Chain A
Amino acid sequence: MNAPLVSIKNVDFAYQKQLVLSDVSLSIFERDFIGIIGPNGGGKTTLVKAILGLLKPQKGSVEHSLEKSEIGYLPQGNQVDENFPITVKEVIASGLEHGLKIEFRKTKGRQRKVEMALERVGMDALRSRPIGELSGGEFQRTMLARAIISSPKLLVLDEPDTHVDNQFETELYSLLKELNEQMTILLISHDIGIISPYIKTIACVNRDLHYHTSNEISEEQLKVYNCPIEIITHGTVPHRVIKEHIHR
């Protein structure tokens, strides 16, 4: 087996004195598609921020075998000011920026990548729109394009399906499945029912991390993992999330 892209070893993280992650270990390999689930405040976002190098754990280590610039990131919706005066195209292009470069000419390669990213998420018609005038779904499409424009090796998504319409939700997950053929994906979600058909494995995070090597999980298992999340049922799925389940 290849060396992991990211290996997290015995990580503790605390905000002030509140321990959010305790002795967390996880290895992320190429082509993984890990669904990160857990209750609110359980440390999901903290974990990915540690992986991204935005937070430094008090104990343990996070080692990468990839460059920081090879990570694509879609943050939680509340991280940015939705009324900031910036256009869709500018946001997406920012995903290509690297370091502090001074350049005045728009290079053709860059332009083409922006065009492709716009097309891929279906935002080409709205390219000049300021983000303040977008719907929830359009905003997340833009943020997704920014995350994938650099063709990252690792794609980290923090609840990309908040405030989006059903149509985009379906499109989003099938696009991610397609992207997974080229890149490793870490997906935080509050809804295991929706992501289950697309992911490969599950990480339950609630201060501890329990790694579950299947994309299906039962309420009983979640209990064992000390990971009390509500399994939102879609249609007639009472307790168990099954593989064939298709979200409409």
Chain B
Amino acid sequence: MDLLELFKYGFIQHAVLAALLMSVACGITGTYIVSRRMVFISGGITHASFGGVGIGYFLGFPPLAGAAVVAVLAALTTENLTRRKVLRNDSIIAILWSLGMAIGIIFVYLTPGYAPNLMSFLFGSIITVTSTDLWLMLALALTVSAVFILFYKPILYVAFDEQFARIRGIPVMFINYLLIILVALTIVLSIRTAGIILVLSVLTIPQNITNLFTNRFSHIMIGSVVLGFFASLLGLILSYYLDIPSGATIIFTLVLLYLVARLIKVVIFGR
């Protein structure tokens, strides 16, 4: 089929829009996550949110809403327990990670009948996004962009050196909690498109590709948005023609792009 003809399909148009909005949100928050070395925390929040999906199924409300509540709770708990040094940070993450998954599995099991969309939560399903999903993703992408445009400097300074920021009177706690909530919401809305298992890659691979060529926070943010969108489109088209799952194809494309970028860097820049 002709490529242009492909984009006439409504579901493909939705998928393209979803990819764009996901790339904006993930490109920006992902840069924060990668720079602050919060990838593992993000993995914990992602997997913990599955508990919310399970509870949603069981009680009959939208699983994604359940995921959002649980993800934010998990994010706040991690942040709080880490600050108070109740437990080692990586142990807290591991506990919330598996606890969330366990809750999810139990509630999905207890739900009568069959949970048809379960696989789409685990691996994402960008070609079935609804217009409600798109509106939510648009709201998130706008919020994330607004926060980073308005508070760019304080966010950068807190992420770089929290103690110094505190001495300069920047409200460090406010920034930390605001950002961890944005991270949680970005993750949840990306679950719809990339899935619990795969979302981490959208938050880290574009950033690491861009980081090969620039070491500036703002450039990594913008570059990741563009690259994320490009990889999602490419992955989407490939998955259509090869008739393989879209989420996995996007991830595969991203990793391939990373390897190509590394190669380019070695060949052109010699390092």
Contacts and interface: CB of A to CB of B under 8 A. Distances in A.
B169 A69 contact: yes
A68 B35 CA distance: 28
Interface in A69-118: 69, 71, 73, 75, 79-81, 84-87, 90-91, 93-95, 97-100, 102
A102 B167 contact: no
Contact of B169 (A91, A95, A98, A130): A98
Contacts of A98: 168-170
A73 B150 CA distance: 26
A68 B216 contact: no
B160 interface: yes
B138 interface: no
For this complex, into which size category does the number of interface residues on chain A fall? 20 to 34
Contacts of A94: 153, 156-157, 160-161, 164-165, 168
Contact of A130 (B37, B154, B171, B216): B216
A125 B174 CA distance: 36
A75 to B, nearest CB: 6
A53 interface: yes
A210 interface: no
A133 B166 CA distance: 26
B169 A99 contact: yes
A71 B163 CA distance: 13
Contacts of B159: 84
Contacts of B214: 85
B35 A85 contact: yes
B203 to A, nearest CB: 15
Contacts of B156: 86, 90, 94
Nearest to A95: B168
B174 A100 contact: yes
A100 B215 contact: no
A207 interface: no
B112 to A, nearest CB: 50
A190 interface: no
B154 A73 contact: no
Contact of A85 (B161, B163, B171, B216): B216
Given A80-B161, A90-B156, A97-B153, A85 B170 contact: no
A146 B215 contact: no
B167 A73 contact: yes
Contacts of A73: 163-164, 167
B151 interface: yes
Contacts of A95: 168
A40 to B, nearest CB: 20
Nearest to B154: A100
A94 B155 CA distance: 11
Given A97-B154, A99-B170, A84 B160 contact: yes
Nearest to A156: B167
A132 B220 CA distance: 15
Contacts of A102: 150-151
A93 B165 CA distance: 12
B211 interface: yes
Contact of A79 (B35, B161, B171): B161
A54 B170 contact: no
Contacts of A146: 164
A14 interface: no
Interface string B208-235: 0001001111001000000000000000
A94 B153 CA distance: 8
A100 B170 contact: yes
11 contacts: A73-B163, A73-B164, A85-B215, A86-B216, A91-B160, A94-B168, A95-B168, A97-B170, A100-B170, A102-B150, A130-B215
| 10 shortest interchain CB distances as A-B pairs | A130-B215, A94-B157, A99-B169, A85-B217, A80-B161, A85-B215, A97-B168, A84-B160, A86-B160, A102-B150
